[in-house]
Structure 1
Amino acid sequence: MPLTWTIKPFADLTLTELYDLLQLRSAVFVVEQTCAFQDIDGQDQAAYHLLGYSETGVLAAYARLFDAGITYPEASIGRVAVSPEFRRFGFGRELLRQSLAILETRFGAQPIQIGAQLYLRSFYESFGFRQHGPMYLEDDIEHIHMVRT
């Protein structure tokens, strides 16, 4: 089951796309992870939004992408989410491949920093990310900074 990928700056998102991405982020980061936090953080306007839609029009995968100097000194990827109903198809790997390719195309080859949940360290390491600094708690969830050079 292939996904249809779309990349857009905030100003170009349709209302439906904005609703879909906020709904997916809420389902994964607030409900599934039982984490009350301020998801709408004022950074969406500076991001490119990568949306992966299923054949039935459901948002299955999402990430937001930033040029260097916005969230970190390096370019970055954040709010990486795959809908639970689509996790068995390898869309997380495809989402990260798409994210890395888009960052390089839009902003050139450069280091990328992420704030990753600790349990996903090996997943990100498989894409060349390496831990950069100690574990820290963010919203009571163990995280690590990782950088891909």
Structure 2
Amino acid sequence: MYKHILVATDGTDLSKRAVQNTLDLAKALGARVTAVRVSGKPAHVVVFGVDITDLPEETRARILKDIEDHLAWVRSEADARGVPCEAIRVESEHVWTGLLDTAEARGCDLIAMASHGRAGLTAKLLGSETKKVLTHSKIPVLVFR
């Protein structure tokens, strides 16, 4: 069956439940888990003629700390279940490519993720990352609702 599961996480309540369910599945299967939080590579963004590409260092540091705090939570959930787990942050221009590239590079045989992540205008403009993973993945994808 499955030996190495990649689980996508973005810190939302739904993705936290997906992490917990994935860890329970991994325990039952004797599998290991790689939890991945994809953060975007800064794009060149100009608003009203002003380049806002670079975030203030304080803002960037806070975002990175929030991500690391969430990944620490994932590690503690895995430890509590006795599931081998590596929780990492990956930078990628697109979440779906970051997930697929990481799954391939690490030899994962299953991708698990929530049915949807963050909402709002960004989600509407970019479309569903889950749908893109489902469309382009060469390995099975388990979607949690």
TM-score by shorter chain over 0.5: no
Rg: which structure is higher? 2
Q: TM-score, normalised by structure 2?
A: 0.30
Question: Does 1 or 2 have the higher relative contact order (CA < 8 Å, sep 6+)?
Answer: 2
Structure having the higher helix fraction is 2
Q: TM-score, normalised by structure 1?
A: 0.29
